[in-house]
Amino acid sequence: MGSPTAVSAGQDHQKDRPEGEPRRSEVLSPSSPVVVFPEDAPLKLESGQLLAPLSIAYETYGTLNAAKSNAILICHALTGDQYAASVHPVTGKPGWWERLIGPGKPIDTDRFFVICPNILGGCMGSTGPASLNPRTGKPYGLDFPVITIGDMVDAQVRLIDHLGIDELFSVVGGSMGGMQVLEWTARQKTRVATAIPIAAAPWHSAQNIAFHEVGRQAVMADPDWRNGSYYEHGVVPKNGLSVARMAAHITYLSEKALQGKFGRNLQDRAARSFSFDADFKIESYLRHQGSTFVDRFDANSYLYITRAMDYFDLEAAHGGKLANAFLGTRTQFCVVSFTSDWLYPTRDSKAIVNALNAVAANVSFVEIESDKGHDAFLLEEPEFHATVRGFLTAAAVKRGLA
């Protein structure tokens, strides 16, 4: 069996970078390091299909100690990527979790070695529907197999093995990242010392599946989607993906946050236009969110990742009893929720805590008072930051990490 190949950041390993297409360039030749697992080392997916070759793009922050005992894996959410604490190569914006990760920050890179991979199915260098299918030389499109959260975790295990790390000090993630955290602790019970699932759930609710289906249908209704083959036609289903992003973004916020930030205020005008222009500030905000999203994200990746989230059901996967997922766990957990999160409400986090208590796991639970909604884990929330810092610091001291 062939060995994985490590490719330096920015090194072209599939083909030359396309001119004037920064997002497409990152699919084929990511700016971050990437590990390529060869054709003779396929990843077996939950669907039963084999995927090879497999590329996993990732970023790291801090230094791995000699014992390789200070590694923290960061699992990103639906629209995130590996650039958690570094400048995004397409947008030029700061990392999505720079508030949390860095020297002296709650996830302290003076102490910890932080790894953030782009998920399987993503569009920033890890193998996904925009990647080249070795059998055709064209992007996979809908020939890419349907994947699960468990498949994402199995791909991450390959990366951690490649880095020579036997046990992760912690696995941390919010939203879909929290789902990956739960899968890690269920699938790799001896390899995760601590875990912080944030604003997550042990299964996807009917309401959340419904929101995702609206988004997928918006993408697929765009004439430029071309049945998933838009790459070959040089077009992007921008309108559909933008609408999907707008609809999803509403679910990330709370009613109080929307009302407080926008209310019924008009956008750059003194009176209503009596048209379908963006009269209100909230309309302008959502249109901006949609238009900027399509510049950095792949439409087919959006379809595949939302479907993976819909399929997530840790209880069903373990005989209809959630506690079975954590039987024999040695992981120390810190479960975090937010009071105004109606997408993954506190009751979902409590279901996780109850299941952990049922198997006598070491678990603490914190519900953070916040009016920011689901996105609170990405924003400035001092109590949340203090919770993460305190939990990781105490666990590090207990394990003798300097």
Mean pLDDT (the chain) is 94
Rounded distance between C-alpha atoms, residue 217 and residue 231, angstroms: 19
Contact between residue 70 and residue 95 where contact means Cβ atoms under 8 Å apart: no
Predicted confidence (pLDDT) per residue in 95-126, tens digit: 999 999 999 999 999 999 999 999 999 999 99
Confidence of residue 19 (pLDDT cuts 50, 70, 90): very low
My answer on whether 12 and 145 are in the same domain is yes
**Strand 34-37 to 5-7 pairing:** antiparallel
Average pLDDT, stretch 2-21? 52
Quick one: pLDDT at residue 8? 54
pLDDT of 10 higher than 70:
no
Last-in-domain residue among 286, 306, 326:
306
How many domains does the structure of the chain reveal? 2
Predicted confidence (pLDDT) per residue in 35-49, tens digit: 999 999 999 999 999
Quick one: pLDDT at residue 23? 80
Q: How far is CA 24 from CA 18, 210, 240, 345, in A?
A: 7, 29, 18, 36
CATH number at residue 264: 1.10.1740.110
Confidence of residue 226 (pLDDT cuts 50, 70, 90): very high
My answer on whether 108 and 78 are in the same domain is yes
Last-in-domain residue among 306, 329, 351:
306
Quick one: pLDDT at residue 1? 59
My answer on whether 162 and 86 are in the same domain is yes
My answer on whether 251 and 351 are in the same domain is no
Quick one: pLDDT at residue 2? 67
The Cα angle at residue 188 between residues 375 and 44, in degrees rounded to 5: 90
Rounded distance between C-alpha atoms, residue 31 and residue 301, angstroms: 19
Question: Which phi-psi region, left, alpha or beta, contains residue 4 (left: φ > 0; alpha: ψ -120 to 50)?
Answer: beta
My answer on whether 55 and 131 are in the same domain is yes
pLDDT of 270 higher than 80:
yes
Average pLDDT, stretch 249-258? 91
Beta bridge partners, 71, equal: 113
My answer on whether 341 and 195 are in the same domain is yes
* pTM, 2 dp: 0.95
pLDDT of 245 higher than 80:
yes
Number of CB atoms found within 10 A of residue 192's CB: 23
pLDDT of 240 higher than 70:
yes
pLDDT of 185 higher than 60:
yes
**H or E element that contains 305:** helix 299-311
Contact between residue 221 and residue 240 where contact means Cβ atoms under 8 Å apart: yes
Last-in-domain residue among 271, 306, 341:
306
pLDDT of 20 higher than 70:
no
> For residues 8 and 14, which has the higher predicted lDDT (pLDDT)?
8
My answer on whether 17 and 101 are in the same domain is yes
My answer on whether 79 and 176 are in the same domain is yes
Tokens of residue 310, six digits = 């819909």
My answer on whether 215 and 353 are in the same domain is no
Quick one: pLDDT at residue 17? 39
Q: What is the biggest distance separating any 2 CA atoms in the chain, rounded to whole angstroms?
A: 69
My answer on whether 30 and 116 are in the same domain is yes
Rounded distance between C-alpha atoms, residue 213 and residue 220, angstroms: 10
My answer on whether 275 and 149 are in the same domain is no
Domain that holds residue 302: 209-306
SS3 at position 146: coil
CATH number at residue 21: 3.40.50.1820
My answer on whether 267 and 146 are in the same domain is no
Query: Across 76-112, where does the E strand assignment appear?
Result: 101-102, 107-108
Tokens of residue 155, six digits = 């791909």
**Count of helix runs (H) and strand runs (E) in the chain:** 11, 13
Quick one: pLDDT at residue 15? 37
Match 């926008």 to its residue by tokens: 262
Which of the residues are catalytic?
Answer: 175, 341, 374
CA 257 to chain centre: 23
Rounded distance between C-alpha atoms, residue 318 and residue 340, angstroms: 30
Instruction: Report which of 81, 60, 94 is spatially closest to residue 124, judged by C-alpha positions.
Output: 81
